[in-house]
Amino acid sequence: MTKQIRLSAAQALAKCPTGIRGLDQITDGGLPRGRSTLVCGGPGAGKTLLGIEFLARGARDFGEAGVFVSFEERADDLAKNAFSLGFDLGRLVRSKRFAVEHIVLNRNQLLEAGEYDLEGLFIRLGAAIDAVGAKRVVLDTIEALFGVLTNEGILRAELNRLFSWLKDKGVTTVITAERGQGVLTRHGLEEYVSDCVIVLDQRVDDQIATRRLRIVKYRGSTHGTNEYPFLIDRSGFVVLPITTISLDYDSPSQFVSSGVGKLDEMLGGKGYFRASTIMISGTAGTGKSSLAAHFVDGSCRRGERCLYFAFEESPGQIIRNMRSIGIDLRKWVDRGLLGFHAMRPTSVGMETHISLMLKHIDDIQPRIVVLDPISSFEAAGTQLDAHAMLVRVIDLLKARTITTLFTSLATGAETTDQVASSVSSLIDAWISLRNLEQAGERTRSLYVLKARGMRHSNQIREFLLTDRGADLQDVYVGPGGILVGSARAAQEMQDRASAVASRREVEQKKGELERKHKAFAARIAELEAAYAAEAHDIKEAIVQEEGRLQGMLAGRSTLATDRQRATKGGRR
């Protein structure tokens, strides 16, 4: 009957955090505690520096003393190398948290024989571990210890013996090794007896060097399997854990102003979404950097930290140029709200650029980041490399709820370059700038190409750069379509002249109408007077005629009466 083995949480593989940014993420917590990790790579890959930082951070940040065993470099040289990473080994040694053992091996005295023994190394290493209570050990490099052995059986046995001794001591060990031809190490055996194997690599593509790290194996633990770019600078190792990036970042509903009021109106009256990615594209001289400067200026006015990555101009040049449109970026730099980082895209590899960006972002903790322009990365590598880099940058900044603005140089009639187009689906708001040619002159224009999640204008606006900043003119439609520049000014002048002539004509017609009205009123008054006089005469004639008729009727009545009387009198 097969016995089923169940591991409790307490029995699960314990981890020893390295403190190296990014490395603990891709190792899911650090190196295997109490076990050996092999770090191999070619010359200049950073093996020794990784070992030094592993011990120095353990002593300084985690309270775990360490012993560095060097078979090649002396203690003074190691201290100088560590100081370049910001670690004072002398101080750690004086505080009994760090020990350096420089062991010189005389290869002429080492014989390949069965009595080959590591007891001397174990005694000396054990004494150093006990002296400082070390929990961490680095052996640099293993080739110096076993380089004389050619018998594979003896070599494997001695390697197993060394690794077992270190495991019995309960120390977490990092062992460095040089790369071999077609194998990870020169002997091709160390990687098989190690619990964890890390490969450091430095490649040169198109005259640009890039450092990469890969975890080849990790017994008993999940880990990242890709190649990860890393950087060595004054703060030590910085590893970019690309595979930890996911699409579960927040999407705030708050808005952030573009810095140009009329542009905010085109974007629904509120500006960009917070933590969104904005693209400003256009040909040379259309005002891309000026809009970026407006965005930065407006953010700094709200008290938000901004980080400006410039890839074609120096910070001083940008500050000087923006002063011509009424934007003073120098005051924000002096107040610590604006930081610049200027570097040519071709100076380092794509991965190094990402590492440097992350380092500066971690140092400054900005709410706004500007990359000006991203199209210049096309010259630093292939389009695929540039696309991969920008995708990583966008995801990393979104995960940190940082609002990001890209500028991109377009050529000819294209909206933008190929690099920017390759990430167009990841852009939340896209502002396109163009030069319109009319009547022998070029005029800047602006329109919103896309704006996810918000109502936005579909009109093309004339874009002006004045000594008071950027301004957008309302759409002006003439007889032949939309007019800008001098054609617009000429049409406006013509329209004003036509308006004046129209008003003059209206006034003239109003005067003529008034005169006709008065003449008509006078004529009506004259006719009314004539009518009144004639009506009076007619009425008088009517009265007279009625009087005459009544007199005549009365006379006739009198005559009839008289006759009747006369007749009666005769009869009597």
Q: Any idea which residues carry the catalytic annotation?
A: 72, 312
Q: With CA atoms as reference, report the closest residue to 26 among 35, 34, 17.
A: 17
Contact call for residues 371 and 311 (beta carbons, < 8 A)? yes
Q: Would you call the peptide bond into 141 cis, given omega within 30 degrees of 0 as the criterion? A: yes
* CB neighbour list of residue 233: distance below 8 Å, 6 or more residues apart: 356, 359
d(CA 238, CA 232): 7
Measured between alpha carbons, how far is 59 from 136 in angstroms, rounded to an integer?
9
Comparing CA positions, the residue from 407, 400, 204 lying closest to residue 291 is 407
Q: Cα torsion for 175, 179, 181, 187, to the nearest 10°? A: -20
Distance CA 405, CA 293 (A): 10
Residue 197 phi/psi, 5-degree rounding, is -130, 125
Q: What's the full length of the chain, in residues?
A: 572
By DSSP bridging, strand 272-273 and strand 255-256 are: antiparallel
Q: What letters, b where the CB count within 10 A reaches 16 and e where it falls short, cover 2-19?
A: eeeeeeeeeeebebbbbb
Q: Which residue has the tokens 């076990």?
A: 35
Contact 213, 351 (CB under 8 A): no
